[in-house]
Structure 1
Amino acid sequence: MANGRPSGSDGSDGNDGHDDGGRRGGLGGGSLLTHLLTRGLVLAIVVGIGYLTRPLWHGLVYSVLYSPGAAVFGGGAALAAVVLWLLPPGVLGDGGGGASRARRRMDGLEDSDNPIGLLLGMDGAAGRKLRLFVGVLGVLVVVAFLVGVPAGALEQRTLAQSTVADATELDEFPEANPDNPRVVPRMVADVTTRGSVSYRQHRLGTSDIARTEDGSLAWSYAIQPDGFRNQLLENQRGVLVTDMTRMDDRQIRAYEEDFTYGEGMLFQRSADWNLKTTDYFARYDDDAVEFSHEGRPYMYYPKTVHEWHLTPLPHTTPTWDGGALIHPDGTIEHLTPAEAADNEVLDGQRLYPTTLTRAEMDAMGYRNGIVNQLPVVGAHEDEVEVARLPADADNTQPFVIDLEGERMSYVTAMEPYGADTRGLDEVWFADAETGEYTYFGTGDDTLTGPERAMGIARSADSRTNWGQNFVITEPVPVTVDGDLWWHLKVTPTDFTDVTRNVFVNADTGSAVEIRDDDAVREFIRGTVTEEDLGPIDGEDGDETDDVDAIYYVLVTDDNGEVIERIPVEPGQETIIVEPDDERAAGNETATG
């Protein structure tokens, strides 16, 4: 000591740094035990809270368990966080002392220069743990990418090859059920149904397809609480179904009974929360199928699980795991596929997940291997892809239709790989009850796809003001006498009605128009033929397409409806239109 001051330059005794470093660089036996117990208690509390709120983390946990890339990143990050949390401070180096502090200053790592440490109020040990954790995360990101990319490709390949191996090829298209045509599109059903009911504390949920007790197909809705307060306190009121097979005399039925666990209810009162707490290691990606049985409402949720494959590299594939049937009283039955098929309440309903069907069809491009579908080196031999639909189609694949014998099926139209291909290559059918696949290959024939069918329907009726007053929507495949037809609907742009149905032959491209519900059934049944119905364009069977017109004169009424369409042929220099009455005068319009 000199002049009463410590010999150290910072005013401390020369041995203080060493002694302090010894005290802070490690923990004694009692202190180590206290540290581990304290940290372990905090970790247990966090795990307990996580368990009680486990439905909130279901997607993250499931991904870590069944996704190779997520398992590497999420599992590695969780393990690193736990280890660093329990690790005593001194294990990572001296937490204090003059020499250690001097080294940190030289390395630019002093806490006062560490903005993260300052922001979080961390001491030196916590700062070092944080920097180490960030470094581990960086490594895990790279490893997860290297693992996830090949695992994703292998998942697609395995899924496609297993789907093809279990599928049966058909010699002809399966016949559609003429008693259950899809006449009412989803948008029309949503608009007209919501406009026909009145609930003050409830609203209709997302529409889906179910079978009614009389065997017909219907759009179904959950009558769920509306508004935050009601979602917290009120219950789902039941289900509502509206017939999709006809526009005339369409029936809307409500089966009202409070659900203990339902749609639109929050937290532990919701169906989703209770599904995940009762079977955590499954996914519920499909919307509920809402239906009635013996006058009582029910909901069914298809379940999907993933299976691990260890060769040639670890990867997983989704598979069907049955479903969960929710009763209004809160009973939840978790059923295997066989149990669901044998359940009396579920008789005739859709059991197989549509999301799994979509995943299996999206993977079909990999059925000839991974290399075959690569953009640069792939040969693209026999490669197919799901047929594209225009944005205004108001539909997505797979299409849900009813086949003969009241067997619902998911239908997916596949087209050859390529940006300029729109013809059909294959049509796949998945049994909605068993998940069994069948498919029809077109061979050398070229069949019209849904996008082209919509164009044919529009061009066949040039009198309609497409896009402004009317739209063609929801192409759905149906089979009539072994031929594939696209069933389309013409609706006003406000989706308040279905003005007519249009059928386009996928083989010949011919189109017919039907305005009557019963006639739609007769056409699908085959008792009314294309010749009986006549051409789609022209009045009273006049073949206006045979006229070599350079433009048409359209005579409209006060409402803008076309009352006459007069062709003007080449060389015809003058045409005189004489209105039948004063109201029609001045409404003549020439179109090219």
Structure 2
Amino acid sequence: MADESPSSGARSLAIHAAIRLLGLGIVLFVGYLTRPLWHGIVYGILYSPGMAVFGGGSILAALVLWFLPPFDVGDSGPPIGRVLREADGPLEVLLSLQGSPGRKLRLFAVAVGVFAVLSVLVGVPAGMLEQRTLAQETMDEATEVEEFPQANPENPRVVPRQVADITTRGSVSYRQHRLGTSDIARMENGSLAWSYAIQPDGFRNRVVEHQRGVLVTDMTRMDDRQIQVYEEDFTYGEGMVLHRSADWNLKKTDYFAKYDDAAVEFSHDGRPYMYYPKTGHEWHLTPLPHTTPTWDGGALLHPDGEIEHLSPQEARSNPILEGQRLYPLTLTRDEMGSLGYRNGIVNQLSVVGAHEGQIEVARLPSGADNAQPFVIDLEDERMSYVTAMEPYGQDTRGLDEVWFADAETGEYAFFGTEEETLTGPERAMGIARSADSQTNWGENFVVTEPVPVTIDGDLWWHIKVSPTDFTDVTRNVFVNADSSRAVEIRDDDAVRSFVAGTVDESDLEPVEGDDTDREVAYYIIITDENGDVVERIPVERGQETTIVEPDDERAGDNRTVAGG
């Protein structure tokens, strides 16, 4: 006959607890060794109110059910169950809900369902408060400017991403490696470039081989474009799996940060490096608990496997990172997206909101092959993230504000159009197409990648014309966001002169077409208020052209566009 004494039941309970503790210890040990795999879940529980309720509550429920002993309501139940059933108090009530493992699973499913509902009830207002707080912080730290900051004429974005990807991949040959996703970095000579990680290709190579280095290709000119390769095996890199990957080791060495941005691949003193911007979160307890994202510095990855985790101040003062993008693009995107809440939560609601002063990130048309924020270079080689904002509304496409974020410091400046609405990227691309009605758009050529460029205090959209196979840039079209005037330029040096505010006729090449015999340098396109072309004026070599805008309050200040 089995020993059913209280002491036997206590021993059984102790054994049960020891076994469960051992099991939990094994789970925690394996979880710690593989912690980068669970980084997103853990980070979400720590810094997301909704996820804290759902994930944290579910884990707590699982732990309680895991440690509770098995319990049968019948007399033939195990000694542990009978001993505990005979006890009086809250424990008896709790255990009366327990039984077989199947019952525990049912209780766990019920608990998960309850926490899911609670997470929604908590997460929705917390999300709105996050947007409102982030918008307030962004506005408080931003400076309004009277005119657009001048673009760097030495670093225009001439080569679109798709053109760079196709032409660069066609210029290199690797059997065990391939070029990763392109991103924007600064070359050692100061030019902006599309950069790539030379990463292993194929399952076997991803397991065994190493990232071979980085490749950078100049984006500021199509002719005589430089492609530079910096080969050195990375101990941890892109395209490598599990514990050999850069992502694994970043999360392993700094677990309480997010790495949402793609790596910035670049070189310094002839050696390849990669930089990963980091995002953190801050808790706000009032009026309801919520969090907002914040810049948490960055991680500098050396080829030998060294990872330097840098604060924002340390990143800005690091000589290796001089001139590179440091501030997270994803954080800029979040901050710009939150500006719709700057006049309050109720103001932006779809039914009861007045939408007074509400703005939203300008939508880009299909075929733009671009995304906001745009990365451009300003004077003195200061990279900036530019975001064009349009008024709230389904049918609005004009610009209301243009925001600039310093890519090194994260400081914001914005230009408000006040009563005047500027041409947005969608209409600018339409103007670029209508500027040349003889081109077979869509079948042979496309307009692509509108990028804002600031010239002499004016905003222009710099648009590229490429064949549909994206193997070249046939010409550049600049559309003035104020007057909708369009200018076509085919020569790299002429693009630089135009961005600088002057056009040197010796740098211009004739434009192919009906006017070649007149040595046309470029065209000025006159459009009406709907963006339709009214007149297409050829400008010859050496011809001095002055444009007068009588409808503009600034028309008294005539500006020479092309000098001879």
TM over 0.5: yes
Q: Aligned partner of 1:126: which letter?
A: P
Q: What RMSD over aligned residues (CA atoms) do the two structures have, in Å?
A: 2.4
1:96: Cα distance to partner? 3.1
1:396 aligned to 360, 365, 371, which one?
Answer: 371
Note the 1:446-465 alignment, pairs <5 A. 446-465=421-440
Give unpaired runs (5+ residues) of structure 2.
79-97, 528-564
CA distance in 2, matches of 1:95, 1:54: 40
- Change in Cα spacing, 1:537 to 1:322, as seen in structure 2 (3 Å) is farther
Residue of structure 2 equivalent to 1:236: 211
**1:290-329 correspondence runs (5 A):** 290-329=265-304
Question: Do 1:261 and 1:271's aligned partners in 2 also have CA atoms closer than 8 Å?
Answer: yes
**Aligned pairs for 1:533-552 within 5 A:** 539=515, 540=518
Confirm or deny that 1:48 pairs with 2:29.
Answer: yes
Give the match's secondary structure for 2:136: helix
8 A Cα contact 1:460 1:536, kept in partner: no
Q: Does 1:411 align with 2:386?
A: yes
2:60 maps to 79
Q: CA distance change for structure 1 residues 188 and 99 in 2, over 3 Å: closer, same or farther?
A: closer
TM-superposed CA distance for 1:125, in Å, is 2.0
Please name the residue that 1:360 is paired with. 335
SS of 1:392's equivalent in the other structure is: coil
Identity %: 74
What does residue 245 of structure 2 align with?
A: 270
Aligned length: 501
CA pair 377-328 structure 1, distance change in 2 beyond 3 A: same
Deviation track 1:174-193 (CA, whole Å, cap 9, x = no partner) reads: 00000000000000000000
TM-score normalised by L of structure 1: 0.82
Deviation at 1:438, TM superposition (A): 0.3
Q: Which sections of structure 1, spanning at least 5 residues, go unmatched?
A: 1-18, 101-122, 547-592
Q: Which residue of 1 aligns with 2:74?
A: 96
The match for 1:192 is 167
1:429 counterpart letter in structure 2 = F
**Structure 1 CA distance for aligned equivalents of residues 107 and 245 of structure 2:** 41
Larger gyration radius, structure 1 or structure 2: 1
- Aligned residue in 1 for 2:42: 61
Residues 538, 393 of structure 1: CA spacing in aligned structure 2 closer, same or farther, 3 A cutoff? farther
- Equivalent residue of 2:325, what SS? coil
Q: Is 1:29 aligned with 2:10?
A: yes
1:153 alignment partner in structure 2: 128
Counterpart CA distance in 1 for 2:250 and 2:203 is: 22
1:205 aligns with 2:180: yes
CA 1:232/1:482 → structure 2, altered by over 3 Å: closer, same or farther?
same
Judged with a 3 Å threshold, the aligned counterparts in structure 2 of structure 1 residues 193 and 534 are, in CA distance, closer, same or farther, namely: closer
Q: 1:544 & 1:230 partners in 2: Cα distance? A: 53
Report the residue type matching 1:31 in the other structure.
Answer: S
* Equivalent of 2:352 in 377, 387, 394: 377
Distance 1:154 1:543, change over 3 A: closer
TM-score, normalized by length of structure 2?
A: 0.86
Could you tell me whether the CA contact under 8 Å between 2:491 and 2:509 is conserved in 1? no
Match of 2:112 in 1: 137
- Find the partner of 1:332 among 298, 307, 310: 307
For the pair 1:38 / 2:19, whether they are aligned, the reply is: yes
Contact 1:24 1:95 in 2 (8 A): no
- Residue 175 of structure 1: which of 150, 155, 180 is its match? 150
What is the 5 A alignment of 1:550-561?
none
| Counterparts of residues 434-473 of structure 1 (less than 5 Å) | 434-473=409-448
Aligned to 2:55, what secondary structure does the other structure show?
A: helix
1:526 correspondence with 2:526 = no
1:460 touches 1:537 (CA, 8 Å); kept in 2? Answer: no
Contact map agreement 1:512 1:534 (CA 8 A) in 2: no
**CA separation in 2, counterparts of 1:537 and 1:368?**
52
